[in-house]
Structures are given as C-alpha cells and as structure tokens.
Structure 1
Amino acid sequence: MFDNLSEKLDSVFKKLRGHGVLSEDNIKQTMREVRLALLEADVNFRVVKEFVATVRERAVGQEVLKSLNPAQQVIKVVRDELGRLMGEGEENSLDLAARPPVAIMLCGLQGAGKTTSCAKLALQLRRQKRNPLLVPADIYRPAAIDQLKTLGKQLDIAVFDSQPDRDPVLICEEAQRYAELNGYDTLILDTAGRLHIDEQLMAELVRIKDSLQPREILLVADAMTGQDAVNVAETFNAQLEISGVILTKLDGDARGGAALSIRAVTGKPIKLVGMGEKLDALEVFHPDRMAQRILGMGDVLSLIEKAEAAMDQEDAQRMEQQLRQDGFTLETFRDQMQTIKKMGNLESILKMIPGAGKAMKQMGNMQLPDKEMKKIEAIINSMTPRERRDQKILNGSRRLRIAKGSGTTVQDVNQLMKRFGEAQKMMKKLQKMGPKGMKNLMGRGGGLPF
C-alpha cells in the first residue's frame, strides 16, 4: 500500500544524506518535499500541516543539527512522528475484560469488508482460546446472513440462526441470551451497512449499542477509499463513539492516506488491519512497525511472529531431527516450502526484511517465486516416496512420468534437480558447522533453490 510514499520519502532523504552539515534551509526544503509526498498519498491536509510543523520544530533543534550524522537524526524524527501519528505508545488491543458473553459490534458502510472481517476476527479470537458466536444482524443486504453462515461453516465457528424478517435489535438480544446459555464468551455482531450514511442506519446502530452495551464498537473502513474512509470514521464516531477501527484492504494499491489520517482525525486507534482475502489475513496493527515499513526499514518483529505462527517449536524440532537422520531430501524441502507458504505472500514477507524493498524495486518486473514454488511442489508431489528420498534413481523415464503427472516439462524437472543438488551441497556445509549451522538453517527456512 505505501510503496509510492516509501519511494518518494526515500528519494527525499537520499538528497538529505548528501549534505555533510545540515542547515535550517536544508530542513525547510526537505519538509516541503515531505509535505508534498504526504499530500500525494491522500493524507488529510490538517494532519499533514501539523505533522510537518512538528518534524520541522524537532529537526532544527540543536541535538539534530550538531549530531555526528544529522541526516539520520532527521529520518529518526520522521519515523518517531509517523509512529505517533498512527498511535504509537497507545493501547490498541481489544478490551475483552468483562463478564461473558462480551459483545463486539462491527459497523461500517457496504463494501468495506464488514462481514468477512467478522469471520476473520472470530478466527483470531478462537486462536486466543476464546469461544466466539457470530451474529448476523444485517437483514437488508441480500444474502448477508447466508454469507456469514457460510464463512462460519468454513471456519467451524458457530453462527446464530437469525432470520431476515426479524428486528436487528431483537436478533442481537436473543443471540446474547443464547450465548449465555450455551457457553459462548464472545458475541461478534455483524450490523447493517449502507452505500452511504443515513439517519435510519444510525438510529438502528444506536439502538443495538444501547441494548447490548458492546465492549468494543469497531468501524470497518476500506483503506482503498482514502479520505472518504476518514470522513466515514468521523461520522460514525460522532454517532456511536467507536472504540477503534479495522482497516481493510491494506494489502491493496491505495496510497495510504487513510491509515495515516484516521487516528489523528478521530482520536480512535486502528486496532486491526486486513492484509488479504484469506480468512487468516487479519493482523494486529502496530504503528511503530508500520512507520518503519513506510521508511523502508523493514518489520523484523512481524516477520518473526509470522514464522512462529507458521511453525511451532515441536515442528521445528521435528524438522531438525529429520534433517539430522535423513539429510536434506526433496521431502524435507517440500515441507519447508509449505511452512513458508503459511506465512503469506512471499512479496509481503520480503518487504518485512530491511533493505529488501529496495532490492525488489531494482529487480523491476522480475517475477517473485510464488508461482515457481507451486510448480516445484507439484513436481515433488508427483514423485514416489522413494524418489523423494533418493533423487539419484530419477532416470529419463521417471522424469518424463513426473513431468506429465505435475503438468510441467522434463526441462522443469531437470532444472529443479540441478538447483536442488546445489542446495544439498550448501546444506552439507551447514551441517558440518554443527548445531550453529543447523540453527542458521532453521532460521533461514532451509536453502530454497530459487
């Protein structure tokens, strides 16, 4: 999402690094360019004005101008202020400390991804050992109730059996009683939306709020709508006093203005962000990490969390033991690829590594290996267990059979075997290094031969 903004800020700071000594004039010019970059990213004008004024005031201070590396100090000031702008240091976790069932009310306009966000949130809470109940309270949009029931079935999460001819407030009240009687500790209310805000919609949402007293009222806003998302957030906050925001489609190609403006305009934090269409693609929003990603500094902490979620300690130990006993086989390699795939899109993973974003830009239109990984997995799955353990037996006829079975060519199979042979040599060197080498290997996810 922030690619354009990151590129422009990187260009601005590159000029700044060219000056051995900074003056107020240098900083003034830099701030002018930062201001333009933020406005082009669709950041709210008032927010940009305050941001630039704060950064300029800090940047012309003696601790910056007289430091050994003033350019880096200015970049640090910008990073700090970006984090503050998005709510760094403030509490942005969900408040579920109440007598169950705890109600969480999701609201927003149609098309923002509200119903899908309900399902994503339910999955996240279940992973935290909670027992959520999804409540379809949108009786106006065709198939809204059926959509939530379908999502609940996919995730094996209970959905209250509401009907489109019932009053939404009564549906929520009945769901609350049902949850109390059946041991559900969290209610997730999927309320109605509109294509635009109107009095009837707000009156209904206020009635639900007054009746159930939800612990959290989360506005689901579409990041792709830019400043419109900020205006929507302002209106909903004025009527409902929302507790936070779920910003969806943050993996899209919007300019990022909503993410940088919502908290400053409404005073309410972004609590969760949707990072893809998959039902597990809902993440806790970390302002400090997002500020680092905007400035091309990577996000190593999020990368570590993704890796830990994809592979627990037992899996890591099992894989390490398998490597010690059988060596680096095609079977082991396939398992490691599947672990990496669980972490998400490879492009988004690479962007979390400091400096990798710039390297990807230099690659231009070069394809990232997501498709290549699928092809490799298809080839390995077309082999027999014996062939996966000992690739030396792969003669011409076996390779032809594998190519036909995987929908690839013999050349594809030959290329994989050549790359895999190179990866095996690297693995043997690491294994000779002992435990240190093996830890290195597990930290890198193996020697992916791309």
Structure 2
Amino acid sequence: MFNSLQDKLDKALQNIQGRGKISEINVAETVKEIRRALVDADVNFKVAKDLTKRVQDKALGQNVLTSITPGQLMTKIVHDELVDLMGGHQEGINLSAKPSIILIAGLQGSGKTTFSGKLANFLKKKKNKNPLLVACDVYRPAAIDQLKVLGSQIGVPVYTEQENLNPVQIAEHAIEHAKQNQQDVIIIDTAGRLAIDEQMMNEIRNVHQFVKPSETLFVVDSMTGQDAVNTAKSFNDVLDYNGVVLTKLDGDTRGGAALTIRTVVEKPIKFISTGEKMDTLEIFYPERMADRILGMGDVVSLVEKAQEQFDEEEAKKLHKKIAKNEFGFDDFLKQIQQIKKMGNMKDLLGMLPGVGKAIKDVDINDDAFKHIEAIIQSMTPEERRKPSLINISRKQRIAKGAGRKLEDINALMKQFEQMGKMMKMMQGPQGKQLMNMMSKGMPGMGGGFPGMGK
C-alpha cells in the first residue's frame, strides 16, 4: 500500500540526506518535493500545503541546518506531521451498550458488505463477542446473498427478511431477535447507491434515528481518492458518524484519502481493509501507517499477526520435538500453513524495517510455498516423520510425484536440515544469548533474506 507515495517521499528525503551542506534553499527544495509527492498521491492541495509549511517551519526552527543528522531530523519531522494528519492516535470502537449496535454506511461498491463480515469475524475472534449480521440492503438481492455466504464462512448468524422492503422494520425486528438470542453486537449492513441521492440519505437517516447506534461507520473505497473524501463529508453532514473505514488499500491506491479524510471530515479512521479474506481487517494506527509510508516498516503489526496464529499447545509440542530431534516435515508443513494465514507475503515482508524498499520491484508470489507443499505431500507419512529415511530412490519418487526436479528435493532437504540445526541451537543458552544480542541490534547484522529476488 502507498508504494508510489513511499517512493516519492523517499526520494525527496534522500535528496537532503545526500547533501554535503544543508541550507535554507535545499530545505525548501526538499519540502517542495514532499508537497509534490503528497499532491500526486491525491492529497488535498490545501492539506498538503499546510503540512509542508509546518514541516519547513519546524525544520528551520529545530536547527536542521546545524544538525549532525539533518536527514534523520527531517524524516522525523515529516513522520510526526503525517501521524498528526491521520489523527495522532488510534481510536477504539464503542462496545459498551448491551447489545451494541453498529450501523454500516457507504456508497455501493465501497466494500460495505464485505467489511460487515470482516468486522463480525474480528469481534468474534478478538473481542469474544457473539455478533449478529443484519441485511438491510433491500434493493440489491446479491447483497443479502453475499452476507449469508460471509456469515456461513465465519460462523456468524445473518438476520434477513426476504419480503420486507422496509429497512427500519427489518432493523427493529433484528434487534429483538438479537436480544432473544443473547447476541451482544448487531452489525447492520445498509443499502448503498452509485451516487449520493436524497432517497438514499433519507433512508439511512431514518434507520440511524430509529436504531440509535453506538457506532456508525462510514466505509470508503480508498481507490476513489478525493471523491471518497467528498462523499465522506456529505454522509457526515447527515449522519454525524463516529469513524471511517478505508477499504481496498491493497489495490492501486495513491493513499490521498487516508491522509486527507481525517482533516477534512474531522472523524477518525478506525479500520483499514485489504483483500477479500475475512481476516484481512486491521485497526488503524496513525503512527504505524506513517512508519509504513516512510519505509520504516511496522514490526508491531507483524508481531500481532504472528500472535494471532500462535497456538501455545502446538508450540509446546514443537519445543519437545526439537529437543528430542524429532522435528519432521509434518511439523514444517504446519509452520508454512501458519505463515500463509498471516496474509500477503510481500506485505508481511514490507513490515520489516528496510525490507519494503529492497523488495518493491521483486515479484513475490503468494504461491511461493506451493512447490514445497507439493514435495512434502508426495512423501509417505513415515518419510515425513523421519526425513533421514529419504534416500536417492525415494527422492526420485518424490520428485516425480510432486512434478519437480531432483535438485529441488535436494535443496529442500538441505534447507530443512539447516533449519533443524538452527532450531536446535535456539533451544540452548547460546540461542537465548543470540536472540538477546539481536534484540539489542548486533553490529553488522543485515536484514536480508537468502535468495531474495534471485
């Protein structure tokens, strides 16, 4: 996300970092390039102008000209301004009411229905809630069917009334249904239009006034740029909603909506959504997003994603197997599947500081693990448990079954052996010492990945 903006800001800041002598003139030039990068990313011109004016004032006011590391100081100033522009801090979702009612609004095609499913999944898994999805888009039958499909995928019930075309009545009946069935969060998916019209606004206003939601969230397609900001403003004039959701941030988006919407509408961005999978919903943290935009990575979010897939009991079993030298290909396959659940591989690697820039032009296929899985699945259960059994004839059979070359089998066996040795080493005091040194930052240790981009 924000690849184009990230590249242009990086070039603007590198320009001043590479100067032997810093002056007011090249500070002004750098600020001009930053403003151009923001405008190119579809940030409102006035917002971009105000931000860069503050950056320039702070840069000169903090003696960037005499600083030992002027480039780093400029980067920090830009980072802090981006954080402030996007709201400064993370805003939570209000779930204090019993039941809590969340009204979802937005134009047709913005991703409202998919977001409703993702939010239900998020609240169920991470907040231990018992949600109910409510289909109040009475004009688009496909929306009702889509919500039913999403509900079945995540194990969340969906309330529908096929013959009733009155969304206020549907919402009323759904609330009663939720109270009777001990459902503590009601997520109401409302109708959208291709453009704002009076009928649409009256309908969403009536639903809003009747249900009195604890949260009203406006869903914005971030690929529509400043049009998304204008639409958000029009809806806010009618609904006075609590927060914004940015969808499709994995698409060809320039990022302007994310950077502008908080300032123009004065409402926080609460969630960002990428992809169609139900677990691709993230809480919006302005500081983490600023880190990503400036290529600093987002290790905290990466660790959180890893923790979501972490199974404590499995980890204990794995620890025992490694200690007994019983780590096999079945265990290896489980680790691969856990990594895959974390999301898009390129996005995950991009969360590591410095790696995002290094791999921006590298094509990392999400199917990169497929040939490894095919090789492992071509082994017999005994071979997966005891890799030492795999001799040359078995390798030839496995290669044929997986549709791979013998060299691929040999390479995987070698990597598996090296990984086993490393995991064994990490079990002992030397491993703990190494991890401690890495956490403090060992001189000369790079963040590269063997074979990356070859």
Which interval holds the TM-score relative to the shorter structure?
A: over 0.9
Q: CA deviation at 1:250?
A: 0.8
Tell me how far apart the structure 1 counterparts of residues 243 and 195 of structure 2 sit (CA, whole Å).
Answer: 20
Determine if contact 1:22/1:71 at 8 Å carries over to the other structure. no
- Of the three residues 407, 411, 414, the one matched with 1:415 is 411
Is 1:15 equivalent to 2:15 in the alignment?
A: yes
SS at match of 1:50: helix
What does 1:145-164 align with in structure 2 at a 5 Å threshold? 145-164=144-163
**2:341 paired residue number:** 342
TM normalised by structure 2 equals 0.91
CA deviation vs aligned residue, 1:403-440 (integer Å, no higher than 9, x gap): 34334344432332233334344445545655517968
Letter of the structure 2 residue corresponding to residue 245 of structure 1: V
CA deviation vs aligned residue, 1:266-297 (integer Å, no higher than 9, x gap): 00111001022101111101110000111111
Letter of the structure 1 residue corresponding to residue 243 of structure 2: G
**1:87 paired residue number:** 87
Letter of the structure 2 residue corresponding to residue 51 of structure 1: L
Q: CA deviation at 1:14?
A: 1.0
Q: CA deviation at 1:336?
A: 1.8
**1:399 paired residue number:** 395
The RMSD of aligned alpha carbons is 2.3
- Change in Cα spacing, 1:186 to 1:320, as seen in structure 2 (3 Å) is same
**1:115 paired residue number:** 113
- Of the three residues 369, 375, 380, the one matched with 1:373 is 369
Tell me how far apart the structure 2 counterparts of residues 306 and 23 of structure 1 sit (CA, whole Å).
Answer: 43
SS at match of 1:68: coil
**1:39 paired residue number:** 39
**2:56 paired residue number:** 56
Q: CA deviation at 1:378?
A: 1.9
What does 1:276-425 align with in structure 2 at a 5 Å threshold? 276-361=275-360, 364-365=361-362, 367-368=363-364, 370-425=366-421
**1:191 paired residue number:** 190
Letter of the structure 2 residue corresponding to residue 3 of structure 1: N
Greater mean deviation of Cα atoms: 403-412 or 34-43: 403-412
What does 1:71-86 align with in structure 2 at a 5 Å threshold? 71-86=71-86
Determine if contact 2:14/2:71 at 8 Å carries over to the other structure. no
Tell me how far apart the structure 2 counterparts of residues 212 and 187 of structure 1 sit (CA, whole Å).
Answer: 10
Greater mean deviation of Cα atoms: 383-392 or 221-230: 383-392
Tell me how far apart the structure 2 counterparts of residues 260 and 130 of structure 1 sit (CA, whole Å).
Answer: 31
Please list every run of 5 or more consecutive structure 1 residues that lacks an aligned counterpart in the other structure: none
SS at match of 2:25: helix
CA deviation vs aligned residue, 1:89-117 (integer Å, no higher than 9, x gap): 3x51101112x111100011111111010
Tell me how far apart the structure 2 counterparts of residues 417 and 221 of structure 1 sit (CA, whole Å).
Answer: 47
Tell me how far apart the structure 2 counterparts of residues 409 and 122 of structure 1 sit (CA, whole Å).
Answer: 45
SS at match of 1:104: strand
Tell me how far apart the structure 2 counterparts of residues 373 and 439 of structure 1 sit (CA, whole Å).
Answer: 27
Is 1:222 equivalent to 2:218 in the alignment?
A: no
Please list every run of 5 or more consecutive structure 2 residues that lacks an aligned counterpart in the other structure: 440-448
Say how many residue pairs are matched: 441
Q: CA deviation at 1:314?
A: 3.4
TM normalised by structure 1 equals 0.92
> In percent, how many aligned pairs have the same letter?
50
SS at match of 1:372: coil
Determine if contact 2:322/2:424 at 8 Å carries over to the other structure. no
CA deviation vs aligned residue, 1:79-138 (integer Å, no higher than 9, x gap): 00001101113x51101112x111100011111111010000000011111111000000
Tell me how far apart the structure 2 counterparts of residues 245 and 164 of structure 1 sit (CA, whole Å).
Answer: 31
Q: CA deviation at 1:258?
A: 0.9
Letter of the structure 2 residue corresponding to residue 8 of structure 1: K
Is 1:101 equivalent to 2:99 in the alignment?
A: yes
Q: CA deviation at 1:306?
A: 0.8
Determine if contact 1:59/1:74 at 8 Å carries over to the other structure. yes
Tell me how far apart the structure 2 counterparts of residues 264 and 239 of structure 1 sit (CA, whole Å).
Answer: 18
- Change in Cα spacing, 1:7 to 1:381, as seen in structure 2 (3 Å) is same
Determine if contact 2:318/2:327 at 8 Å carries over to the other structure. no
Tell me how far apart the structure 1 counterparts of residues 433 and 308 of structure 2 sit (CA, whole Å).
Answer: 23
